[in-house]
């Protein structure tokens, strides 16, 4: 069964994923809204940057983050100047890395559902005295609800499933940065296959359930078209 | 009474809008033209949905746009009602919530009575709890009109509200629009490419072509202008506003009065003083130099010729003034020549047929 170290890793994983998901929704919503509506020539570049973690080996992203957040990196110098020390091998560092790594899984469904809403409901709202922010909360948000659900679920699940970035940026510190995927790796390294089975099976079941919910209950396609 | 002044210039390269219009502050003004004539763009500029870089817009003494002084009131701050071509209801809200969406957001709530009247006028009382997807196209458009009217706007803008409906649904909505016409005391700007809707609804007509207003003015006067293509059309007609004056029951006739005369029509089932719109096709009007003494045609009226132009296929298009109303006649060029018709001549028009539009 699960050891106390396993339980600690599980708890930490869900903590990281919850906080990261919240941050991704806060950050990803305005970003996706801008991407869905802008005609700016920056759109292509920003789209590419956001989507980069989809194709980049996690170790590459982790490596650059490690360097940048380290004492000699730009982010590291800034956080030191703020008196916060450096971020690698800390919980906040882990959350920041997770946000960057999973952001496309939140931005893309949101962007697709915002685009699908189109101009018409926004114009109707404007002729009915609703300002832009009012329109977002009273028309866009309810119409994009499936997109938000998909974004939150995918963002959360993808953060739970990360390994490479965590290992590079967070390391392997019990109860601080050791998440489930790293714990499984530890078990396998120590030839503790039974323990590894429990955790790995658990993650498999979790991931499958998440996708099952997405494809059946929400009847959405995770990335392409969150709205029918 | 001019209370709408709209001047816009906008250049999209392949399309230019350049209009300067003074429109009345009451009744229905129809913006008529083919697709691509700029009528919808003009309406969207008035609503602020499109921002013409050069423009001045004044409604009822309030300035909504003045590009010289960098003033542009965003759409949500303009006290207007807008009806889109597709009803454009919020799909996540019931009819009731769609109707209340704007009401919740205005400072001076016109109150439940106004909403109730609007709901009754448009006959949507039994639809209140439905979602838009469970409505027919015609019902949806009626809800959209009610949603715009419920706000008690200072002006109602309608962008081809019937264009997406089949002819059966159109006939279902037109009576509501006619009723609106009689009960509404705010100006309505109505975009359409349908001559039928012009005839049924317009008090003032603006003819748009290639981003410009070719002509603008009271309906029969504008319909009969010889310098716009409408007067040449095979279906060319003028529409007169009249009221029921008396019924001649023994002859099954109704006499209707208009400014400067009266007409006999087949019996109309409406009380005296009911306003009517009478359409007279140019092909149904003939001209005589003297008052015909023996004729079966009942409607013979003195008229003054105010314009003559060549029509298609050997025809002449004659514009006449009958009392305060303008009238078009299509006659053969040979007749025009034999009668020696000249501008300023007093003649008699014989009207062979009329139709009542409401």
User: For chain A, which residues lie within 8 Å of any Cβ of chain B, measuring from their own Cβ?
Assistant: 120-121, 123-131, 134, 138-139, 142-143
Residue B315: in which H helix or E strand, if any? strand B315-322
Pick the CATH number of A4-217 from 1.10.3720.10, 3.30.565.60, 3.30.360.10, 1.10.760.10: 1.10.3720.10
Mean pLDDT, chain B, rounded, equals: 91
Count of other CB atoms within 10 angstroms of residue B237: 24
Closest residue in A to B106 (Cα) is A129
Q: Where are the domains of chain A?
A: 4-217
Which pLDDT score is estimated for B304? 96
Tell how far CA B161 is from the center of its chain: 13
Q: How far apart are CA B358 and CA B200, in angstroms?
A: 7
For A176-207, write each residue's pLDDT tens digit.
889 999 999 999 999 999 999 999 999 999 98
Residue B326: closest CA among B238, B257, B258: B238
Best mutation target among B87, B102, B106 (most A Cβ atoms within 10 Å) is B102
Chain B CB contacts of A116 below 8 Å: none
What DSSP string runs through A43-68? HHHHHHHHHHHHHS-HHHHHHHHHHH
Domains of chain B: 2-232 (3.40.50.300), 237-356 (2.40.50.100)
Burial class (CB within 10 angstroms; exposed 0-12, middle 13-18, buried 19+) of A60: middle
* pTM for the predicted model, two decimal places: 0.87
Whether the CB-CB separation of B236 and B330 falls below 8 Å is answered with yes
Angle at which helices A58-69 and A43-55 cross, to 10°: 110
For A201-226, write each residue's pLDDT tens digit.
999 999 898 888 888 877 654 444 43
Cβ contact, residue pair A127, B92, below 8 Å: no
Q: How far apart are CA B147 and CA A128, in angstroms?
A: 8
What DSSP string runs through B49-93? SS--SEEEEEETTEEEEEGGGTEE--GGGS-EEEE-SS----TTS
Which pLDDT score is estimated for A220? 55
Which pLDDT score is estimated for B312? 84
Whether the CB-CB separation of B288 and B347 falls below 8 Å is answered with yes
Burial class (CB within 10 angstroms; exposed 0-12, middle 13-18, buried 19+) of A30: exposed
B80 touches chain A (CB under 8 A): yes
Residue A209: in which H helix or E strand, if any? helix A193-212
Give SS3 for B198. Answer: helix
Residue A5: in which H helix or E strand, if any? helix A4-37
Best mutation target among B92, B103, B153, B154 (most A Cβ atoms within 10 Å) is B92
Which pLDDT score is estimated for B2? 63
Whether the CB-CB separation of B143 and B124 falls below 8 Å is answered with yes
Provide CB contacts within 8 A for A206, sequence distance 6+: A157, A160
Closest residue in A to B100 (Cα) is A128
Best mutation target among B105, B140, B141 (most A Cβ atoms within 10 Å) is B105
Which pLDDT score is estimated for A215? 80
Cβ contact, residue pair B147, A121, below 8 Å: no
Residue A109: in which H helix or E strand, if any? helix A91-117
| pLDDT by 10s per residue, chain B, length 358 | 568 999 999 999 899 999 999 999 999 999 999 988 999 999 999 999 999 999 999 998 999 999 999 999 999 999 999 999 999 999 999 999 999 999 999 887 766 777 888 898 888 999 999 999 999 988 999 999 999 998 889 999 999 999 888 888 888 788 888 888 778 889 999 999 998 899 999 999 999 999 999 999 999 999 999 988 888 888 899 999 899 999 999 999 999 999 888 999 999 888 999 889 999 999 999 999 988 888 888 899 999 999 999 988 889 999 999 988 999 999 999 999 999 999 999 999 999 988 888 7
Reading phi first (left if > 0) and then psi (alpha if -120 to 50, else beta), residue A158 is in alpha
B176 touches chain A (CB under 8 A): no
Cβ contact, residue pair B74, A142, below 8 Å: no
For B195-213, write each residue's pLDDT tens digit.
889 999 999 999 999 999 9
Whether the CB-CB separation of A117 and A140 falls below 8 Å is answered with yes
């Amino acid at each position: 069964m699960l050891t106390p170290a396993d339980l600690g890793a599980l708890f930490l994983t869900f903590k990281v994923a919850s906080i990261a998901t919240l941050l991704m929704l806060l950050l990803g919503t305005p970003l996706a809204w801008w991407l869905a509506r802008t005609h700016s020539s920056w759109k292509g570049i920003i789209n590419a940057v956001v989507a980069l973690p989809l194709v980049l080996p996690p170790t590459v992203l982790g490596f650059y983050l490690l360097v940048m957040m380290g004492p000699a990196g730009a982010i590291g110098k800034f956080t030191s100047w703020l008196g916060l020390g450096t971020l690698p091998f800390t919980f906040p560092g882990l959350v920041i890395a997770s946000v960057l790594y999973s952001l496309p899984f939140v931005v893309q469904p949101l962007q697709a559902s915002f685009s699908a809403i189109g101009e018409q409901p926004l114009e109707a709202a404007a002729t009915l005295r609703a300002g832009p922010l009012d329109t977002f909360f009273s028309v866009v948000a309810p119409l994009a609800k499936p997109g938000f659900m998909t974004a939150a679920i995918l963002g959360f699940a993808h953060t739970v499933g990360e390994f490479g970035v965590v290992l590079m940026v967070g390391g392997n510190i019990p109860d601080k940065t050791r998440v489930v995927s790293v714990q499984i790796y530890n078990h396998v390294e120590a030839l503790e296959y039974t323990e590894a089975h429990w955790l790995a099976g658990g993650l498999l079941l979790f991931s499958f359930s998440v996708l099952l919910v997405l494809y059946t209950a929400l009847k959405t396609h995770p990335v392409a078209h969150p709205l029918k | 009474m001019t209370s709408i002044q709209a001047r816009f210039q906008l250049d999209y390269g392949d399309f230019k809008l350049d209009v300067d219009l003074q429109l009345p502050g009451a009744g229905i003004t129809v913006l008529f033209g083919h697709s691509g004539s700029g009528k919808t763009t003009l309406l969207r500029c008035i609503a602020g949905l499109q921002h013409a870089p050069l423009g001045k817009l004044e409604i009822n003494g309030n300035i909504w746009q003045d590009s010289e002084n960098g003033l542009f009131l965003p759409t949500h701050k303009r006290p207007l009602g807008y009806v889109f071509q597709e009803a454009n209801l919020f799909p996540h809200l019931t009819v009731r919530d769609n109707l209340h969406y704007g009401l919740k957001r205005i400072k001076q709530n016109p109150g439940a009575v106004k909403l109730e009247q609007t709901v009754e006028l448009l006959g949507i009382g039994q639809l209140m709890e439905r979602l838009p997807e469970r409505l027919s196209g015609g019902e949806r458009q009626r809800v959209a009109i009610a949603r715009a009217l419920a706000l008690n706007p200072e002006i109602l803008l309608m962008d081809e509200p019937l264009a997406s409906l089949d002819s059966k649904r159109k006939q279902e909505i037109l009576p509501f629009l006619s009723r609106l016409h009689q009960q509404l005391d705010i100006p309505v700007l109505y975009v359409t490419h349908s001559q039928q809707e012009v005839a049924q609804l317009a008090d003032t007509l603006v003819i748009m072509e290639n981003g410009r207003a070719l002509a603008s003015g009271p309906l029969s006067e504008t319909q009969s202008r010889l310098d716009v293509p409408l007067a040449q059309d095979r279906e060319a007609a003028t529409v007169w506003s009249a009221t029921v004056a008396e019924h001649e029951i023994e002859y099954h006739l109704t006499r209707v009065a208009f400014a400067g005369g009266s007409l006999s029509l087949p019996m109309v089932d409406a009380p005296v003083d009911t306003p009517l719109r009478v359409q007279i096709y140019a092909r149904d009007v003939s001209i005589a130099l003297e008052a015909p003494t023996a004729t079966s045609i009942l409607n013979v009226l003195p008229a003054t010729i105010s314009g003559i132009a060549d029509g298609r296929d050997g025809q002449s298009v004659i514009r006449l003034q009958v009392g305060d109303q303008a009238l078009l006649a299509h006659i053969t060029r040979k007749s025009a020549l034999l009668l020696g018709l000249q501008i300023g001549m007093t003649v008699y028009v014989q009207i062979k047929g009329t139709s009542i539009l409401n």
